[in-house]
Amino acid sequence: MQTIKAAVCHEFGAPLVIEDIHLRAPEIGEVEVTVHAVAICHSDISFADGAWGGSLPAVYGHEASGVVSAVGANVNGVAVGDSVVVTLIRACGTCTSCAGGKPTICETPYDGDAGPIRTTDNGMLHQAMACGAFAEKVVVDQSQLVKVSAKMPKDAASLIACGVITGVGAVVNAAGLRAGQDVVVIGAGGVGLNAIQGARIAGARRIVAVDMTEEKLADAKSFGATHGVLATGDTPWRTAYKALGGKGAEAVIVTVGAIPAYNQALRYLGRGGKVVMVGMPHSGAMAEYEPVTVAFMGQGMVGSKMGDVVIQRDIPWMVDLYEQGRLQLDSLISGRWSLDQINEAIADTKAGAARRNVIVFDH
């Protein structure tokens, strides 16, 4: 076991504690990655606040990039010294979901309590989301990694691990948006901005961003939205209809975990359209809709985890788009923080103005 620094959650809702932890060597099919950057996702914050339960103590963090520093037996595709993106998508490759091209909903369970990290007194330490990347190093399954160019900035690469693939993938994979169709994106935060980018890349005719502030709507337009609608009015969907030329959208992407957003999502939708549910409310929160309208209008509602991506297929082309200047990543980064500053970075993220805050390591 080696000793590394990590941000540990000991109590839901309490500040994370920077402390030494133990990390074992990679075993069969596993890879050790020295983390260079890890972005803060709202899912990390929700977990640390106790929104979805889970074991404690725990190490969160799942949007990471770094360099491979050790490999276990039977590892293919990556070697020591490779630059990689680290995702939470741990896929067995053989279950029905994986074999059907849906690795994001792999059916093989993973026990984070029995993962590669322990407390310094050999106690249980939960590896959250199969990553635990709020740490100097991680040991993960090889299925969670994608090799990228060493020239790609590590802070930009970390964003691809979750926020980018989730937003872009929700449009391209889950919604199946075609060129010339219209889309409404509810929420112009980190994932929402990437959904907007995905719609632009897919050739959407009109892209309507819906958010609570003018500042976020201005952000949305800089990423490709053609129109912005404030969600604070009584009937924002009517404003969206006007922007869409008097019709509903072919796709509505809900990127926030707010129940009012889910309650209103169908109102933005046109005949035969689809709501893609990406944002994750707290457990127990309930939304309401009128089934007869959905049936009569031939509409659909579908959940999308991590943009329905296949990381070995989707991340390389997103990296290419970034290198071509067609996918914005650098401008998504609101601030760069050290691991010791993680609680301040989380507070800044909670304040709502940040696109993505990134923890960077000096290796």
* Distance separating alpha carbons of residues 318 and 167, to the nearest angstrom: 12
How far is 230 from 149, CA to CA, in rounded Å?
A: 39
Closest C-alpha to 1, from 21, 29, 31: 21
Over the stretch 139-171, which tens digit does the pLDDT of each residue have?
Answer: 999 999 999 999 999 999 999 999 999 999 999
Asked if 37 and 361 touch (Cβ cutoff 8 Å), the reply is yes
Q: Is the peptide bond before 57 cis (omega within 30 degrees of 0)?
A: yes
Helix, strand, coil % over all residues of the chain, rounded to 5:
35, 25, 40
Q: What's the pLDDT score for residue 133? A: 98
Q: What is the pTM of this model?
A: 0.94
Structure tokens at 238: 């009517």
First vs last C-alpha separation in the chain: 20
Check: CB of residue 30 under 8 Å from CB of residue 141. yes
Question: What is the model's pLDDT at position 243?
Answer: 96
Q: How confident is the model over 123-135, as pLDDT tens digits?
A: 999 999 999 999 9
**CA proximity to 9, closest of 61, 80, 52, 87:** 61
Asked whether 20 and 120 are in contact (CB, 8 A), the reply is yes
Closest Cα partner for 315 from 187, 205, 152, 193?
A: 152
pLDDT value of residue 233? 83
What are the residues facing 19 on neighbouring strands?
6
Q: In which residue ranges of the chain is pLDDT below 70? A: none
SS3 of residue 158 by DSSP: helix
Residue 194: partners with Cβ closer than 8 Å, 6 or more residues away: 163, 164, 166, 167, 168, 332
Beta strands in the chain (DSSP E): 2-8, 17-23, 30-39, 58-59, 63-71, 83-86, 117-118, 126-127, 137-141, 145-148, 182-186, 206-211, 227-230, 249-254, 269-277, 300-303, 333-337, 356-360
Domains of the chain by start residue, with CATH: 2-151+329-360 (3.90.180.10), 167-305 (3.40.50.720)
Return the pLDDT at 352: 82
Burial of 153 (0-12, 13-18, 19+ CB in 10 A): middle
